[in-house]
Structure 1
């Protein structure tokens, strides 16, 4: 098939550091290319994949994250590239771009990378009527009603690209944006109560992130709670591989959480709160420990030694590998293509 892949304009594909969605898009392109499909990537910055490339901006637009004019200009440029490429199917990972789907002949698959809450839910309800809307977890589908879903495709990683360690250092790790939704303050409190130092890394650039960091996180920092900033990919994986466990005290309905499977691929178990997609991704007693309350987190951190690091890595290869994700999307492309006539109308 000829597949046009539209990425968000904020980070390069693949991303040099932060960018869970962008990392998934890169792996999907690799998987489709390996299966013989012809793929064109539409994105900002440089192209680090084997796909043909349509560049919407010379540089990634993360300094202007969320600005409407950036998303609209990106969608317009993508529509022009798609028309020239003439794909059998379009796979869009943005929120604005799918609004152009009714104007073209090729059917469109959209991956919902956001939780369908508030305005996002309204957008997804509309998109589900005009395109094939895929979720990244079953939990994501349960958040809002009235959305027409075409299927589910879990996010994936290639375990072979991650450093594996079965002998761990004496720290726990938090990896993610510095914001209240991620529960960074909860992670510090839990690690300290368990008697283990915590190392934290992640983005802290937006005003709401810096405000939260100064108000809630900086007062908690000390010799046993260290913030390392935003790391590049190699440093991030090394940090994950050496950790006793990854702490994931999520405070919102996160659709998936790619860092969960990244940690497992390194042989690092997860200690998480039972919320959103966590029960769908973490297998209690096999790849981590899932807690019902924040008060249970310290005991789980102490008990995580009974989790086998190699089993964590093996289970990622079984459940969240690139081939499985690629196959799920490939099936969705073919189902959607069969549902449209030659004039681009949904049957």
Structure 2
């Protein structure tokens, strides 16, 4: 079986810091290669893979702002589609745009839908409903107008996350600094809980950061900036809990699964995929507001950190994700 994995080109695959779609494309590619599948990763030229790398773009457009994103995407996607007959199957992690080529090539295209940026993109998915082989990353993120071939949870390399039986007592916010992710809510929860809060992530909304985050920074509320894999493992592993007070229906939430892999429970607002990721009162707490989150902080000592690790390994490992995708590939190819 020859498989092409199409990764986004905003960031390197795997990303140096931020880049969740690139991370999952990387995890899948490396997992397929480990199983002996002949896999080609279509990504930026500085990407890393044990498979074959095919690139026409040297760097991601978020890392080299001299690049025009639309031009880069056009060159990248067309590069794969012009070689489509060299593969048995194409796995698209690039959102809706590659679907516009799918009726022009004989190769089946599996599209993992990592989320919907807007309802305006739904007509494209609907147009290719019968042939798109759509995969949702959680059952909660399925659009009623679309047909799905499977739900496959995002898979993480479990050996990159060290289990930590004891925490250092601080709370952690790990993610984009954006209203959707609830950085301001996390600050209020920490302040009212009288706990130290470490904040790590890229600033995606400068105005929000300056208005709702920066004024509260001090010795108790500490902003660390964006952190890479090594620092991420240490930050997550030593936290008493990850605070995830989202204000949108998040399709998955990699940091939630990552925290639990380290043995760290998660206190999350009960929206989107959170009930699928978190076992309430076992691997964390599903809450509806800040006051419930504050009470949950006081209940953390009742949770077993080993249970968090075991749950996340069983549900969100790269190995499980790769096996689930291979089952889908075989079903589509009838082999």
TM-score, with structure 1 as normaliser: 0.91
What are the Cα deviations for residues 118-170 of structure 1, in whole angstroms up to 9, with x where unaligned? 123333323433311100000001xx321111111000112222122111112
Matched, 1:210 2:206: yes
Question: How far 1:228 moved relative to its partner?
Answer: 0.6
* Aligned counterparts of 2:39 and 2:332: Cα–Cα separation in 1: 17
* Aligned counterparts of 1:51 and 1:132: Cα–Cα separation in 2: 23
Alignment of 1:176-195 (within 5 A): 176-195=175-194
Match of 1:92 in 2: 92
Alignment of 1:231-242 (within 5 A): 231-242=227-238
Partner SS, residue 243 of structure 2: strand
* Aligned counterparts of 1:129 and 1:178: Cα–Cα separation in 2: 38
Match of 1:72 in 2: 74
Q: Which runs of 4+ in 1 moved over 4 A?
A: 63-66
What are the Cα deviations for residues 278-335 of structure 1, in whole angstroms up to 9, with x where unaligned? 0001001221111122221111112112111111111111111122111111111122
Match of 2:123 in 1: 122
Question: How far 1:50 moved relative to its partner?
Answer: 0.9
Matched, 1:260 2:262: no
Matched, 1:302 2:298: yes
What are the Cα deviations for residues 249-305 of structure 1, in whole angstroms up to 9, with x where unaligned? 111121100111100111111000100000001001221111122221111112112
* Aligned counterparts of 2:56 and 2:245: Cα–Cα separation in 1: 36
What are the Cα deviations for residues 203-247 of structure 1, in whole angstroms up to 9, with x where unaligned? 11x5xx112111221122222111111112111111111101000
Question: How far 1:185 moved relative to its partner?
Answer: 0.5
What are the Cα deviations for residues 2-52 of structure 1, in whole angstroms up to 9, with x where unaligned? 000000001112112212222212211122122221100000132321111
Query: Do 2:138 and 2:152's aligned partners in 1 also have CA atoms closer than 8 Å?
Result: yes
Query: Do 1:54 and 1:81's aligned partners in 2 also have CA atoms closer than 8 Å?
Result: no
* Aligned counterparts of 1:179 and 1:66: Cα–Cα separation in 2: 24
* Aligned counterparts of 2:68 and 2:2: Cα–Cα separation in 1: 30
Partner SS, residue 53 of structure 1: strand
Q: Which runs of 5+ in 1 are unaligned?
A: 340-347
Match of 2:267 in 1: 271
Question: How far 1:81 moved relative to its partner?
Answer: 4.1
* Aligned counterparts of 1:335 and 1:66: Cα–Cα separation in 2: 38
Query: Do 1:177 and 1:202's aligned partners in 2 also have CA atoms closer than 8 Å?
Result: yes
Question: How far 1:100 moved relative to its partner?
Answer: 1.2
Query: Do 2:61 and 2:69's aligned partners in 1 also have CA atoms closer than 8 Å?
Result: no
Structure 2 vs 1, CA of residues 220 and 313 (structure 1 numbering), >3 Å: closer, same or farther?
same
Matched, 1:154 2:153: yes
* Aligned counterparts of 1:283 and 1:184: Cα–Cα separation in 2: 23
Alignment of 1:305-320 (within 5 A): 305-320=301-316
Partner SS, residue 282 of structure 2: coil
Query: Do 1:288 and 1:307's aligned partners in 2 also have CA atoms closer than 8 Å?
Result: yes
* Aligned counterparts of 2:176 and 2:71: Cα–Cα separation in 1: 24
- The range that moved more, 248-257 or 126-135, is 126-135
TM-score, with structure 2 as normaliser: 0.94
Q: Which runs of 5+ in 2 are unaligned?
A: none
* Aligned counterparts of 1:190 and 1:124: Cα–Cα separation in 2: 39
